Chains A and B, each alone.
Chain A
Amino acid sequence: MNPRWLLRLYPLAWRRRYEEEVASLLEERHSSLDWLDVALGALDARLRPQVPNVTGEGRTRMPQVIASGVVLAAVLIFAVINNREEPASLELGERHGTLSKDGEHYLVDGQVVDAGPDWYITRTAASTDYDGDGAVESVAIELDGLVGMTVTLGVEDGPGGESSLFIINGQNYRNTDGGRPPWAGGPHANQSSN
């Protein structure tokens, strides 16, 4: 959405002088930050007039300042929500090697690959037959079926040396859109889907 409507928050004298130029500029580029910047500019123009008023209409009037503040708050909320909805882009790496298991941990070439909490992988049905045994079982059983086999995994490297599992042999295990993991709601939230 073009934030041109925000220009109505500016004093009339300012709009007469600059509105068309700024509107033209906003048609070329506009982002959430531009919305916020234009709203802040409108507030500033009302509190500290930048263009001389010929008619006196632009004298700072309290209702207009309040209206500007309300819109500013709305834009702030919009910007926060908008930024939260934008998922972080993933940088997936590839692990190719033999899958092994050490206790609860799965490893490829000695590096831990995190498939999620134990309660999740044991209770959740896999989305496909990863180990090719003809049956779609829980994630844990599917992964166990791949132990000792050569696998190619898509992973995101974490700061602690662990890698989060996203792709198993070319098939998605987790959404790669960077959203929350499927176990984010905890074991109770997940039980209803099993």
Chain B
Amino acid sequence: VEVKEVSKDVPDLGRFSEPALFVLISLADGAKHGYAMMEDIATVSGVRVGPGTLYGALARLERHGLIEPLAPVDRRRPYRLTAAGTTLLRERLTSLERSASVGLRRLATP
């Protein structure tokens, strides 16, 4: 029942759900522009996200009100998490943590 309630609140981000999660994690410690996000995602998650994929995810996240743009600096525009984005990220990570610990426990069982 709990899983159903969470998934109902989670916007459908299609094939961009994983890059979108990486973007939300990248913005969790503060605002960043596109290039900084790509570098951060590569460092933290070891995943190379291309410009088309990144901005596809950004556009969807912005449309769902999970991130918001700030005033551009030169031609770079930073983004930051909204309150809704912070809530969604916390729910997703908690859910993933739960799944990960179950999986690891099962792997440890002979």
Contacts and interface: CB of A to CB of B under 8 A. Distances in A.
Nearest to A36: B50
Nearest to A17: B59
A162 interface: no
Contacts of A45: 56, 59
Contact of A41 (B48, B55, B77): B55
A42 B52 CA distance: 7
Contacts of A94: none
B90 interface: no
B14 A48 contact: yes
B53 A37 contact: yes
Interface string B54-94: 01101110010000000010111100000000000000000
Interface of A: 14, 17-18, 20-26, 28-29, 33-34, 36-42, 44-45, 48, 50-52
Given A24-B74, A33-B48, 16 more contacts: A20-B75, A21-B72, A21-B75, A21-B77, A24-B76, A25-B34, A29-B38, A34-B50, A34-B52, A38-B52, A41-B51, A41-B55, A44-B15, A50-B56, A50-B59, A50-B60
